Structure 1
Amino acid sequence: MAYKTIPGTRRAQKTVHWLLHLIALLAGVIGIYAVFKFHHESGIPNMYTLHSWLGMITICLYGLQNFKSTVTVQPPLSNQLQNLHFKMCGNVGKRLILAMALILWAETGLVQKFIFLGLFRDQEALIVNFTGLLILLFGISVGLTVVLPTT
């Protein structure tokens, strides 16, 4: 989205795009560190829910995607065929990571919190389900924004 919203040269757009991804990756790593630290201090076991597994897989895939993109777009390391291959794989990988981060990870975390807090009354379930639908619609809209061409 940085390429579509940031006015300026292609190089400036690329730099902003890379910086935003780097900040997002650092925030994700800090978040996972905070969760492990909280679990350790509270005596809660780590990595025992689907939410935690999906979160760890998502952050690892995101980190690998960022590393691969940073290394392969450097002129000395890439040629035309490699660049095409990585762009094609990168587009599939980006959509997979987007779906995992925005939809799967958020939805499983929402359900996990709902169950752990014992929120089983009608109004609470309605709020959680409505929030889940908003997360799904947000994920779809972001995905469509990235895929659809600009006019």
Structure 2
Amino acid sequence: MDGAVVSPMPEAPLARINFEKTPPESPNNYDGLPPLAEKRYDDENDRVWNCGAWFEYILVVVLSSLLLIAASILTIFWIIYYRKGFNMQDPKLQFNLHPVLMVGGYITLSGFSILLYRICRCCSHLIVKLCHTFFHACSIPCIVIGCLIVWDSHNQTQVPHFYSLHSWLGCITMGLFVLQFMLGFFSFLILLCCENATYKFRSTMVPIHASFGVVTFMLAVATAVTGLTEKAIFELGDSYTQTIEEGLVINSIGVILTGLGIIIPFAVRRSNSPANYKVYVTERI
């Protein structure tokens, strides 16, 4: 009996069968629903910002808003004070509506639409989307009327169409703007009626829509700057090289637009949260 070897107890077959029949549950997948997001932009409101984050946020929002408003106001001032305002009966004065409407639509309204993802931190996601769409929708009449006006003005003054870099960039910008609006309206508003089924598609389209939105705004800035340069050379001629007052105003508009081309992409792609919690504003789309 002392030298006998005691064999271990055999494994219970019932326990093994029950273990094999019960696979581990996935914590992030219930009834076929999409995986739960780890963090969203809305959750950032629960975190405490430091002084530097608040300073950066206020600086970006205030400076962007002032530059967006200043771009339209200074353009209207330039047209009224130096270019004799608007008159639909005179082709040259009719053309003056073109820069005002294009800067107002492509720059100011579209810029505020993009900036909403930085400003509206306490609103619900759906409200921000609707405001974003509303501002872009308001810019559409400005862009369409501005294009029709310049087309009619060129026809009356026998100026050829689509020969300059400004017009080429304008066509590219308009094409991207139309695609962006249709994609955003369909993907992030219409498809919300079946949110779970379209979750993967919308999550895939987020970086595409966000990146091309910034690209479209940058192209709008480039188009406006080339248009201002073209107008200054045609209207002012050799006096433009003499640093006259109107030339300074035109250059100031161009500098404001360039500043917007820097600060708006920074505003929407820069995280303003503490260093241990990074999330881009465009993830809210």
TM-score (norm 2): 0.48
Q: Which stretch of the first structure deviates more once superposed, 67-76 or 57-66?
A: 67-76
- Partners of 1:53 and 1:10 lie apart in 2 by 36
- The residue type equivalent to 2:226 in the other structure is T
- The residue type equivalent to 1:68 in the other structure is L
Equivalent position to 2:207, from 75, 85, 88: 88
- The residue type equivalent to 2:230 in the other structure is Q
Asked whether the 8 Å contact 1:29–1:59 carries over to 2, the reply is no
Give the gaps of 5 or more residues in structure 1: none
In the TM superposition, what whole-angstrom CA distance separates every residue of 1:52-77 from its partner, at most 9, and x where no partner exists? 11112101110111001111221349
Q: Which residue of 2 aligns with 1:41?
A: 156
Q: Residues 61 and 32 from structure 1, CA distance in 2 versus in 1: closer, same or farther, beyond 3 angstroms?
A: same
How many residues end up aligned between the 2 structures?
Answer: 150
Larger radius of gyration: 2
Q: Residues 126 and 31 from structure 1, CA distance in 2 versus in 1: closer, same or farther, beyond 3 angstroms?
A: closer
User: Does structure 1 residue 31 correspond to structure 2 residue 31?
Assistant: no
SS of 2:243 mapped into structure 1: helix
User: Does structure 1 residue 53 correspond to structure 2 residue 168?
Assistant: yes
- The residue type equivalent to 2:128 in the other structure is Q
- Partners of 1:15 and 1:28 lie apart in 2 by 20
Asked whether the 8 Å contact 1:25–1:62 carries over to 2, the reply is no
User: Does structure 1 residue 9 correspond to structure 2 residue 128?
Assistant: no
Q: Which residue of 2 aligns with 1:18?
A: 133
In the TM superposition, what whole-angstrom CA distance separates every residue of 1:76-106 from its partner, at most 9, and x where no partner exists? 496233212211211221121011012x112
Q: Which residue of 1 aligns with 2:233?
A: 115
Give the gaps of 5 or more residues in structure 2: 1-114, 274-285
- The residue type equivalent to 1:93 in the other structure is F
TM-aligned CA deviation for residue 126 of structure 1: 6.6
- The residue type equivalent to 1:109 in the other structure is G
Bigger relative contact order, structure 1 or 2, given CA contacts below 8 A and separation 6+?
2
TM-score (norm 1): 0.85
Equivalent position to 1:138, from 235, 240, 260: 260
What percentage of aligned pairs have identical amino acids?
Answer: 24
User: Does structure 1 residue 149 correspond to structure 2 residue 271?
Assistant: yes
- Partners of 1:86 and 1:38 lie apart in 2 by 39
- The residue type equivalent to 1:11 in the other structure is L
TM-aligned CA deviation for residue 131 of structure 1: 4.0
- The residue type equivalent to 1:99 in the other structure is M
Q: Residues 144 and 31 from structure 1, CA distance in 2 versus in 1: closer, same or farther, beyond 3 angstroms?
A: same
